[in-house]
Structure 1
Amino acid sequence: MTDVHPGQRVAMLADAQNLYHTARSLYTRNIDYASLLDEGVNGRELTRAIAYVIRAEAEDEESFFEALVDIGFETKIKDIKTFGDGSKKADWDVGMSLDAVTLADHVDTVVLCTGDGDFSRLCRHLKHEGCKVEIMAFRESTAEELIEAADTFRDLSEEQETFLL
């Protein structure tokens, strides 16, 4: 990666649902969050690492949340909503965006771990505010406009042994 030096302050915001579902559907594997954090920080000064997760009352869910904390992530947890028609919804797009905008004054680089194209406008805003924006996600599920809006893109699919368990 270019323009990386140890003094840079970094915030990593990980869209755990996006990463989980992509890793499971493409490779039937899980994300190695310790490697994700280590590689994303890349020897720089970590200011905040936040993993955005959804509580769906799944087996081993709480131990996963605890593992994220042990690795160094702060977890933000949202309960899944079930609507009258049986459909379910839960996403962190607004929460992640607000956190990124709030952190922009305190960091040099924001690492977004998501392939969601909804974050492309956020990338452009952060760059306008003087932040470098790096995306870490699976190429197969990353919106082209997100890649174009970021300063750098790291394809997790090209480094499966590093990023997948």
Structure 2
Amino acid sequence: MQKIAVFVDVQNIYYTTRQTYGRQFNYRKLWQHLLLQGDVVTAYAYAIDKGDNQQRKFQDALKHIGFDVKLKPFIQRSDGSAKGDWDVGITIDVLQVAESVDTVVLLSGDGDFAILLDTIKARHQVRAEVYGVPALTANALINSATVFNPIYEDFLL
């Protein structure tokens, strides 16, 4: 049985599915789909904590499905801009897990992860699957993936 590790860039998936389809991603359907492929041994969902109740309910739902939810506080800068991404955290976790699994699944459209996928494929000979909204996923990330799984309506609520 294939060992699968899943890493979700929650903010990226939320905004890309909302922008493209006006709908939310169906994490339960993804989980069921992945279980048909193998054993999900690690599953992290990386989110920004703004402290509101609706967000906590969503995070609890992710935990109930089987995700370990990692939170980072939302930071509002004095100039009005905001900071809150998990790129480094996701990268570190993927690098730590890649040697012990057969497949790394990344949900994101962020092209910054392309070099990460190239690295884990070369060092650990793992499959690198990406799920992303086609129009909003960087070509570099699509090209670095062993398999690109486009998020269409069938993966939405």
Matched residue type, 1:26 = T
Aligned to 1:3: none
Measured against aligned partners, the alpha-carbon deviations of 1:105-143 in whole angstroms (never above 9, x if no partner) come to 110110001010000000000101211100011101100
Q: 1:9 aligns with which of 3, 14, 27?
A: 3
Aligned partners of 1:113 and 1:155: how far apart in 2?
10
SS in 2 for 1:127: helix
> Does the Cα contact within 8 Å between 2:29 and 2:155 map onto a contact in 1?
yes
Measured against aligned partners, the alpha-carbon deviations of 1:1-30 in whole angstroms (never above 9, x if no partner) come to xxxxxx110001011100000111111111
TM-score (norm 1): 0.91
Matched residue type, 2:146 = D
Name structure 1 gaps, 5 residues minimum: 1-6
> Does the Cα contact within 8 Å between 2:9 and 2:46 map onto a contact in 1?
yes
TM-score (norm 2): 0.95
Aligned partners of 1:128 and 1:47: how far apart in 2?
21
2:18 is the alignment partner of 1:51: no
Name structure 2 gaps, 5 residues minimum: none
> Does the Cα contact within 8 Å between 1:40 and 1:111 map onto a contact in 2?
no
Residues 115-154 of structure 1 aligned to structure 2 (within 5 Å): 115-129=109-123, 130-154=125-149
> Does the Cα contact within 8 Å between 2:5 and 2:97 map onto a contact in 1?
yes
Matched residue type, 2:50 = A
Aligned to 1:29: 23
Aligned to 1:110: 104
Aligned length: 156
Identity of aligned residues (%): 37
Q: Where do 4+ consecutive residues of structure 1 move more than 6 Å?
A: none
**Deviation for aligned residue 1:59:** 4.6
